[in-house]
Amino acid sequence: MESFKNFPVLETSRLVLRKLFLEDAQDIFDYAKDLEVNKYEKEGYGDWGIEYKENKKIIGTCGFVWWDRKNYKAEIGYVLSRKYWNQGLMTEAVR
């Protein structure tokens, strides 16, 4: 799959989707060590880091697993800290 040349930053009311940096490693470790989160993480989906605006922490990642430009189809994968489940954050991020 082709990568972005200029990585876009996307923003919602509660989130910033952005490129990951080395400084994000601790935030990622904090949610990735949770076995409930980790059991769903098959490929480590990670084009964008999901930053929660309220505390400036990376709470997950999301990105394209595959896309078919010709037929306008794509599949999105994500990983999200369990602390943030059931709050509509992934729906917000995908929109």
Query: Does position 93 have pLDDT exceeding 90, yes or no?
Result: yes
Please indicate, yes or no, if residue 74 is contained in any of the structural domains: yes
pLDDT value for 1: 44
Residue 90 lies in a domain: yes
Count of domains for the chain: 1
Domain enclosing residue 61, as ranges: 10-94
Question: pLDDT confidence of 5, banded at 50, 70, 90?
Answer: low
Bridge partners of residue 49, in order along the sequence: 18, 61
Instruction: Give per-residue pLDDT as tens, 11-70.
Output: 999 999 999 999 999 999 999 999 998 876 766 556 899 999 999 999 999 988 888 889
Burial, 4: exposed, middle or buried (Cβ in 10 Å; 0-12, 13-18, 19+)?
exposed
pLDDT score, position 16: 98
The confidence score (pLDDT) of residue 38 equals 82
